[in-house]
Amino acid sequence: MTEVRGRAEEGANIGDVPEKAGKYRIRTILLFTLLSLSLVTLGLISLIFSVMQYRTLKSNATRDMRSSCAQVASGLGQTVREMDTILLYSIASGELKDEFQAYMKAESSFDKNRARQALAGTLISLKGFDFATRQLNLYDVDEGGYGVGNYNGDLPFPAKYQSWYEKTVKLAGKKYIFAPARDELVSDSAAVNRDTFYFSLCRMFYGDFHEPLGFIEVKAYYDEVFEPLKHDISTLDPVIAVYDSDGRQIYPQQAVFSYYSFKDAGDGEIMNAYTGKKQYLCFSEDKEDGLTVAMAVDDAVFMEPVYRSFIPMVLAVVLIFGFCVVLAAALSRRLSNPISLIYSFLQDTDKPQFARLETADSGILEIDELRDSINDSIMLQENATQTMLTLKEQEMQAEMLALQSQMNPHFLYNSLTMIGEMADSGLTDQVSEMCEDITSILRYISSNREMRIRVEEEMEQVDRYLGCIGKRFGDGLTYTYDISDDILDCMVPKLCIQLLVENAVKAVMQHRAPWEIRVEGARDGDDWHITVSDNGPGFDPEVDRELRRNMDEILKSGVLPSLKIEGMGILNIFIRLYLLDGIPFVFDFGNKEEGGAFVTVGGHVRNSDEE
């Protein structure tokens, strides 16, 4: 067996099996199948995950950009509302209106100076300590005005010459945000660059009877108002543009692409005609102030975080696929190696006949069952071959065995001697009865028409045999039967019980009478069993070991010992059961605790109509 296993292991390399055109080794098929399945699965999972990740990240980036845009609009609106608050407080001040009218109507220099001082004090108090507001101007409807802040004094130019005049008149008291412009008078007074731009808000204010009294204007440095927009609003470094309600760009000062034209289309991707790049654009409008903030980011910049997030995923996919390659190779090797061993074993013509396939458990149920089935098939072939050879060898001895192996010469000799003594005594009836019993026993033994017989018929011959022995020894021999009725029609090997009883008689006669023989039989489900026991000396330990060794050898190898006329006894009965019933039969023997021996035989129930 060791040599056979060595050959199988040498052939374990599946690469030894050559591939043919259109055919592939099982390891190759398994490897590529598992890799293809892994690749398709990873591809689908990656695709689904990528789409979900793309949508999620893009949605997050869009949300962050909109949030940043809304924050810019909110901050700018807050600045505008703070400036407008000064306008509203000023318009609501009756004292300011009275002082402004007194200032405009004063004719003498004294009255003019006194009115100017009062008006200046009121304007300064309304402006307060808001240093972001650089100038607060009051204009008369027709001409003249007064300002405080960077410049304090009479305004040289009437309201009608200001560029915000017509629009402010049309708005009739509503707030007007004026496009950034220079004011050289205010800049010179504060000693700042004359090119400094100012961000202005204007309103028209009225008297008690809603008659126009004039205009009020508040100014702030343009750069200070829009300074927050120059800082890092977002990591995306967006382009920001601010438009008034008429769509005029008020930030930045230099012209940029007209994003306002896409306001009605809403947020989304656009093509910037200035740069030739695709951009993502979003809007946020402060409806109270009428300002619209547009924020645009180049598509490549906008999507960079999205694309960057795919790098770990790609690396993970590569690592997982690498792991799948290793796993697929190991799995295909595990599946193919046992099959290759089986293939090499079946292809090996030099292995011993009936050699077994010696491989370790693969852990794969179907492959291990295939190995066991092959071994079982080999074992059945070996048993069938041995049985056929044995049956052929025994065929010539079968008839002699039936007549001679079970017939005790001492039984015939003693029976004939006893018949002679009874004849001398004139016991003719007993002589005639005994001759009939012996004749029946001999006829039963010599008959070779059947291999099995009903229990009831076998027990009739046993009873005749024990009757003959009883006539010879009288009360020295007692025998009892305990045979269940449901076993009487069961078929048992011919002479099986007869030979067991004869062996028991031989055993008890090795010591002085009284001798006891007991035959018991019963049925257990679909099995029968019969036990013959005696009160003899029991089995010698050496004989017991030799019998069991011979029986084990027969069961293991299937080879039967040469049949002998003498000395067969119990072993002959064992061989009969083995040849007739195969492995599934019952055979047990041993010594009883109270003394004597027992032998039990049994098998599957066969009725007479099954033969």
Q: What per-residue confidence (pLDDT) applies to 6?
A: 36
Q: What per-residue confidence (pLDDT) applies to 8?
A: 37
Q: Spell out the residues 6+ positions from residue 326 whose beta carbon is closer than 8 angstroms to its own.
A: none
Residues 249 and 128 in one domain: yes
Q: Is the pLDDT of residue 402 over 50?
A: no
Paired with 483 in beta bridges are 521
DSSP letter for 565, please: S
pLDDT above 90: percentage of residues in the chain: 11
Residues 281 and 407 in one domain: no
Contact 515, 478 (CB under 8 A): yes
Higher pLDDT: 518 or 273? It is: 518
- Tell me whether residue 26 is in a domain: no
- Tell me whether residue 36 is in a domain: no
Residues 155 and 261 in one domain: yes
Number of C-beta neighbours around residue 526 at 10 A: 8
3-state secondary structure of 597: strand
Is residue 238 very low, low, confident or very high in pLDDT (cuts 50, 70, 90)? confident
Q: Spell out the residues 6+ positions from residue 318 whose beta carbon is closer than 8 angstroms to its own.
A: none
Distance (Å, rounded) from C-alpha 156 to C-alpha 208? 27
Residues 295 and 443 in one domain: no
Q: 């102030």: which residue's tokens?
A: 289
The residue among 155, 160, 166 whose CA lies nearest residue 219 is: 155
User: Phi, psi (5° rounding) for residue 454?
Assistant: -65, 150
Q: What per-residue confidence (pLDDT) applies to 525?
A: 87
Residues 405 and 261 in one domain: no
Number of C-beta neighbours around residue 448 at 10 A: 12
3-state secondary structure of 344: helix
Distance (Å, rounded) from C-alpha 277 to C-alpha 281? 12
Distance (Å, rounded) from C-alpha 388 to C-alpha 37? 53
- Tell me whether residue 318 is in a domain: no
Question: Domain with 158 in it: what CATH number?
Answer: 3.30.450.20
Lowest-pLDDT range of 200-209, 304-313, 314-323: 304-313
Mean confidence (pLDDT) of the chain = 81
Residues 261 and 408 in one domain: no
- State which H helix or E strand residue 559 sits in: none
- Tell me whether residue 389 is in a domain: no
Cα angle, residue 419 at apex, residues 417 and 421 outer, rounded to 5°: 70
Residues 254 and 401 in one domain: no
pLDDT digits (tens, 9 = 90+) for 326-359: 887 887 777 778 888 887 888 887 878 778 888 8
- Tell me whether residue 49 is in a domain: no
Q: What per-residue confidence (pLDDT) applies to 2?
A: 31
- Tell me whether residue 375 is in a domain: no
pLDDT digits (tens, 9 = 90+) for 147-194: 998 899 888 889 888 989 999 999 988 989 887 888 888 888 888 899
Q: Which amino acid is at 404?
A: Q
Contact 139, 145 (CB under 8 A): yes
Last residue of one domain, picked from the residues 254, 273, 300: 300
Per DSSP bridges, beta strands 491-493 and 197-206 are unpaired
- Tell me whether residue 352 is in a domain: no
Length of the chain: 611
The full 3-state SS of 12-24, as one line of letters, equals CCHHHCCCCCCCC
Last residue of one domain, picked from the residues 283, 300, 317: 300
Lookup: tokens for 323: 């792991």
User: Phi, psi (5° rounding) for residue 189?
Assistant: -65, -30
Lookup: tokens for 497: 């019980």
Is residue 396 very low, low, confident or very high in pLDDT (cuts 50, 70, 90)? very low
Question: Count of domains in the chain?
Answer: 2
Last residue of one domain, picked from the residues 284, 300, 316: 300
Distance (Å, rounded) from C-alpha 547 to C-alpha 574? 10
Is residue 5 very low, low, confident or very high in pLDDT (cuts 50, 70, 90)? very low
- Would the pTM of this model clear 0.85, i.e. be above it? no
DSSP strand E in 457-511: where? Answer: 477-483, 491-493
Q: 């001798």: which residue's tokens?
A: 515
pLDDT digits (tens, 9 = 90+) for 109-123: 888 888 888 888 888
Q: Which domain does 559 fall in, by range? A: 396-610
Q: What per-residue confidence (pLDDT) applies to 529?
A: 92
Per DSSP bridges, beta strands 477-483 and 515-524 are parallel
Number of C-beta neighbours around residue 323 at 10 A: 11
Cα angle, residue 84 at apex, residues 79 and 88 outer, rounded to 5°: 155
Residues 581 and 433 in one domain: yes
Contact 320, 42 (CB under 8 A): yes
Distance (Å, rounded) from C-alpha 487 to C-alpha 524? 10
Q: 């009479």: which residue's tokens?
A: 154
Q: What per-residue confidence (pLDDT) applies to 565?
A: 40
Q: 């007209």: which residue's tokens?
A: 258
Lookup: tokens for 91: 């318009």
Residues 400 and 290 in one domain: no
Question: Domain with 499 in it: what CATH number?
Answer: 3.30.565.10
User: Phi, psi (5° rounding) for residue 141?
Assistant: -60, -40
The residue among 80, 133, 81, 130 whose CA lies nearest residue 242 is: 80
Contact 492, 611 (CB under 8 A): no
- Tell me whether residue 418 is in a domain: yes
Residues 288 and 400 in one domain: no
Q: 């077994």: which residue's tokens?
A: 356
Residues 213 and 75 in one domain: yes
Residues 292 and 401 in one domain: no
DSSP letter for 563, please: P
The full 3-state SS of 389-456, as one line of letters, equals HHHHHHHCCHHHHHHHHCCCHHHHHHHHHHHHHHHHCCCHHHHHHHHHHHHHHHHHHHCCCCCEEEHH
Q: What per-residue confidence (pLDDT) applies to 210?
A: 86
